[in-house]
Structure 1
Amino acid sequence: MIISLRPGEKIYVNGAVLRVDRKVSLELLNDVTFLLESHVLQPEQATTPLRQLYFVVQTILMEPGEALAARDMFRTLHGVLVGTFERQDVLAGLAAVERQVGAGRPFDALKSLRALFPIEDAILRHSAGEVSPCAA
């Protein structure tokens, strides 16, 4: 797999943070766990329930030494969210995330969670009093 990075961009590989000083292409020759900087959620950005779950899954992926504790936290938070959300599309997405994490595919789980963010945003706007056709 070849990954192209721009100057100053970071990539997180097997728990290590790498920053490049110039445009570069990296070829990953074996099976590694990585995240591009654009997919990394900072702690202060985990402001909604699904983003908090994303942060936990991200920790599983980025911090191998913390993965066991993060998996416990994932199970707890995931259970709370399944009991909180009523929309079937969100519940189906959460079920997919649970399967992906259980199968050792946290990168796929992050992708599934990112797809749920617009739905969650619409729900939150609707509950704040804004009208949104997607939030019912």
Structure 2
Amino acid sequence: MLRINLRDGEKVVINGAVLRSVGRTDVVIENEAAILRGRDVITPEDADTPAKRLYFACMMAYIDPDRLIQHQSRVLSLFEELLHAIEAPEAKASCIAFANKIARCSFYHALADCRDLIAYEAQALARFSPAYAA
């Protein structure tokens, strides 16, 4: 059993359905489900960097298991591209952790490693252009 507390207007994705709370809401999930809070969801338009595209593909593999093979293929392709571009040891470690979770189809947990890669990417891009600074 999982209890989620949602603020007024907060979104949550449960098995691909986007739900929005009206008022402060408690949701109790009593069986296994793919769940993402709205703050952990990105849109295709927000996936504007290599690490964000990887996050989006991994997120889709998690919340859209009906097209898992298609999403997995996209994740692996994007991961390979990103891995070749990363040089920092801590980012490589996040890549290895991400790859291990993807190999086990643990997409939800892989998203955390991907958030680390997004943060690394933002720092790297900020060094080259102030426009990327968060």
TM over 0.5: yes
Matched residues, percent identical? 27
Give 3-state SS (helix, strand or coil) of 1:117's partner. Answer: helix
- Aligned counterpart, 2:64: 63
- Aligned counterpart, 1:133: none
> 2:130 & 2:57 partners in 1: Cα distance?
29
Segments of structure 2 that go 5 or more residues without pairing to the other structure are none
> 2:9 & 2:51 partners in 1: Cα distance?
29
- The answer to whether the Cα contact below 8 Å between 1:14 and 1:33 also exists between their aligned partners in 2 is yes
- The answer to whether the Cα contact below 8 Å between 1:15 and 1:64 also exists between their aligned partners in 2 is no
**Structure 1 residue 51 displacement after superposition:** 0.7
> 2:120 & 2:79 partners in 1: Cα distance?
17
> 2:98 & 2:10 partners in 1: Cα distance?
28
Segments of structure 1 that go 5 or more residues without pairing to the other structure are 131-136
> 2:70 & 2:125 partners in 1: Cα distance?
29
- Aligned counterpart, 1:12: 13
TM-score, normalised via structure 2 length:
0.89
The answer to whether 1:79 aligns with 2:97 is no
The answer to whether 1:50 aligns with 2:59 is no
Letter in 1 for 2:61: I
How many residues are matched? Answer: 131
Give 3-state SS (helix, strand or coil) of 2:31's partner. Answer: coil
TM-score, normalised via structure 1 length:
0.88
**Cα deviation code 1:30-78 (max 9, x no counterpart):** 2211000010011111111111100000110121222210100111111
**Structure 1 residue 129 displacement after superposition:** 7.4
> 2:71 & 2:77 partners in 1: Cα distance?
10
> 1:127 & 1:67 partners in 2: Cα distance?
36
Q: CA RMSD in A?
A: 1.8
Letter in 2 for 1:83: H
**Cα deviation code 1:92-123 (max 9, x no counterpart):** 11111111122121111111111232221111
